[in-house]
Amino acid sequence: MTAARQPMIAILAVPETSASVLYGMYDLFRSAGRDWNMAIGGDAGPGVVQPVVVATREGSFPIVNDIHVTPETTIDRIGCPDVVVIPDLAVDPDDPRNRERFATEIAWLRDCHARGAVLASACSGALLFAEAGLLDGCDATTHWAFADAIARRHPRIRMRPENALVVTGEGHRLVMAGGGTSWADLALYLIARLAGVEQAMGTARMNLVEWHAVGQQPYARLARSRQSGDAVVARCQVWIAEHYQEPAPVAAMVRLSELPERTFKRRFRLATGLSPLEYVHTLRLEEAKQMLEAGDEPIEAIANAVGYEDAGFFGKLFRRKVGLAPVQYRRRFGAMRRSLSSV
């Protein structure tokens, strides 16, 4: 009997890629259908997908953290694989030169997509899909720190930074994972799509992979950390960082700015991407997250400490913005902080 053809997954290596994402996915793909069989039956399975590291060039070259990668083939030689995966990209998402910088890779992505391939990205790799124009009119996700910049440059994309995984486009042939280790979710999804759910489940069990069911919101820093170039707004940012818990903080910032209220609010949103009230909420919730992780104060006390008299309102706002109720957040991240602190 002829063995079933293994779908080919081309993982694109570029100098801006990190080895952990590139080879982490490669290892999961290699594990699929092989290692779980060996663990429960004693014999390694044949594998169900064929990962291949590809690049625009031949020979070894350095990637992030000066780790050298040697691609197995080039994009000119591989033809059209079943799946193309773009790992993370350590670049400035606001840099207008990205399209020119990755012109060869973008042209290849467009060609593969036109020929029916599934395109997938991990973390900030979705930037190439955006620059290729493949995400216009579609939902998308990426690392939460890249989402705003990509949305500004490509306003036709419906960015969903709260999601750890988005599948979209014609034939559901555009697949994106969010930040951090959600590349593992991406690999499991692709294994399930190409070889079946049981193969993906076996791979997850063998490698102790936990699905990021709550998405990216609990992990994201809610507050924008960049200081505004607008001197008036920057002065208000410095003030609110120390006084966010005070009553009527927006009115106080308006007085500090010495601008008409409408002018201040317009300049603040232009400079930060948030209204003054939204900015206050993000600072308060970020502080609440730190308090939930670090201690065991009652939720009502934390709400009051960060500026909310109504603990019920605080709880609803926290859940909407973070994706978990305060008590759920404490359970998940408080235990993590305690474990790390005891090392």
Q: What is the rounded CA–CA span in Å between residue 88 and residue 266?
A: 34
pLDDT at 322 (0 to 100)? 86
pLDDT at 285: 92
Q: What is the pTM of this model?
A: 0.74
Same domain (yes/no): 273, 184:
no
What is the reported pLDDT for 339?
A: 63
Per residue in 65-103, pLDDT tens? Answer: 999 999 999 999 999 999 999 999 999 998 989 999 999
Is 328 found in the same domain as 288?
A: yes
Report helix, strand or coil for 84: strand
Nearest CA among 61, 42, 37, 79 for reference residue 206: 37
The strands making up 174-177's β-sheet, listed across from edge to edge, are 73-74, 50-55, 8-12, 83-86, 118-121, 174-177, 165-168
* Residues in a beta bridge with 55: 74
Domain shared by 194 and 152, yes or no:
yes
Residues 59 and 158 in one domain: yes
Same domain, 50 and 194: yes
Over 70: is that where the pLDDT of 222 sits? no
Last residue of a domain, one of 166, 183, 217: 217
What does the pLDDT average to over 56-72? 95
Q: Confidence band (pLDDT; 50, 70, 90) for 223? A: very low
222 domain-assigned: no
Look at residues 20, 10, 11 and name the one whose alpha carbon lies nearest to residue 67.
20
Q: Does 96 or 12 have the greater pLDDT score?
A: 12
Spatial CA neighbour of 289 closest among 298, 277, 302: 302
Picking from 192, 217, 242, the residue at the C-terminal end of a domain is 217
User: Which alpha helices (H) appear in 48-116, and where do they start and end?
Assistant: 75-78, 98-101, 103-114
Report the range of poorest mean pLDDT among 35-49, 136-150, 184-198, 231-245: 35-49
* pLDDT digits 0-9 by tens, 157-180: 999 888 888 999 999 999 999 887
Do 196 and 284 fall within a single domain? no
- Which of 217, 242, 274 terminates a domain? The answer is 217
State whether 195 and 245 are in the same domain: no
Mean pLDDT of 135-142: 93
Mean pLDDT of 28-36: 91
Residue 313 belongs to what domain range? 231-341
Answer for the pair 334, 293: CB distance below 8 angstroms, yes or no: yes
Q: What is the mean pLDDT of the chain?
A: 89
Q: What is the mean pLDDT of residues 172-197?
A: 90
Q: Are 182 and 216 in contact (CB under 8 A)?
A: yes
List, as own/partner pairs, every contact residues 254-259 make where C-beta atoms lie below 8 angstroms and the sequence separation is at least 24, other chains included.
Answer: 257/232, 257/233, 258/232, 259/232
Q: Residues 34-60: what's their mean pLDDT?
A: 88
Q: Domain tally for the chain?
A: 2
Is 1 a domain residue? Answer: no
Among 55, 59, 102, 50, residue whose Cα is nearest residue 81: 50
Per-residue pLDDT band at 1 (split at 50, 70, 90): very low
Are residues 212 and 236 part of one domain? no
Q: Is residue 2 part of a domain?
A: no
Q: What's the pLDDT at 80?
A: 93
Average pLDDT over residues 139-168: 90
Same domain, yes or no: 298 and 152:
no
Task: Quote the CA–CA distance of 302 and 292 in Å, as a whole number.
Answer: 8
265 with 233: CB under 8 angstroms?
Answer: no
d(CA 183, CA 141): 12
Does 59 reside within a domain? yes
CATH number of the domain within which 312 lies: 1.10.10.60
- pLDDT-derived band of residue 298, with 50, 70 and 90 as boundaries? very high
Is the pLDDT score of 213 beyond 80?
Answer: no
